[in-house]
Structure 1
Amino acid sequence: MSVTLTEAAARHVTRYISKRGRGVGVRLGVKTTGCSGLAYKLEYADEVAPEDVVFEGHGVKILIDPKSLPYLDGTELDFVREGLNEGFKFRNPREKDRCGCGESFRI
């Protein structure tokens, strides 16, 4: 099992953690919500919990709770700028469908 992030995502996370003055990486997970059933959760993490599964890429730690890992296996986290918008993008090969508003997905 693995979860990765692009250089662009790693640069963004590193810059943000530096501005915050604390943090060990990002915590990625899923929650039940939306039209299709699941939505991504992403937050900055200040510590590694004992149950976290830890992946690292480009010097950034990605922390995932064990319940979310089967839904996220193979996912690549990217940071993209499209016109005036910018944000994280999830490339999950396990996604079968995504709702029209882009808020949730189905495995």
Structure 2
Amino acid sequence: MALTMTVSEDAAQHLGLIINQQREDDTQGLRIFSRGGGCGCSGPSFAMGIDAPTAEDNVLDVHGVRIIVDPVTAPTLEGASIDYTEDDLMRKGFTIDAPNAQPAEGGACGCGAGGGH
């Protein structure tokens, strides 16, 4: 599967700094992987880390950032976008908007966030 993703220029700049500080060699990049179904109806949760690709991985170069995605996570991240955000409360971090991410089976919210229950 030929994976396509977008990375904002701001996210690419911040990711590039992190990757260059933490990687041990030039083969490593940013691995994005699914941490399971997330909480109830929120869909999957993603995590990131510095890693080297395996033969099965999808490897993309977006704005100079090497992104590595395993074949199980790839369909969920197809067409996803990564951005870097900061708000007035000094919170900052990366967001992944994955349009193919689906809520957990059954669509029931299991985290006490039910609509008025």
TM-score of the two chains, using structure 2 as the length reference: 0.71
Does residue 89 of the first structure (1) align with residue 95 of the second (2)? yes
Structure 1 counterpart of 2:100, which letter? R
Higher strand share: 1
Q: Deviations over 1:82-103 (max 9, x none)?
A: 1200000112222456x7x9xx
Which of 63, 69, 76 is the aligned partner of 1:71? 76
Report deviation, 1:21: 5.4
Alignment correspondent of 1:30:
34
Structure with higher Rg: it is 2
Unaligned residue ranges in structure 2 (runs of 5+): 104-108, 112-117
Contact 1:4 1:75 in 2 (8 A): yes
Whole-angstrom distance in 2 between the partners of 1:17 and 1:95: 25
Report deviation, 1:25: 1.8
Alignment correspondent of 2:47:
41
How many residues in Structure 1 have an aligned counterpart in Structure 2? 99
Identity of aligned residues (%): 28
Contact 1:4 1:56 in 2 (8 A): no
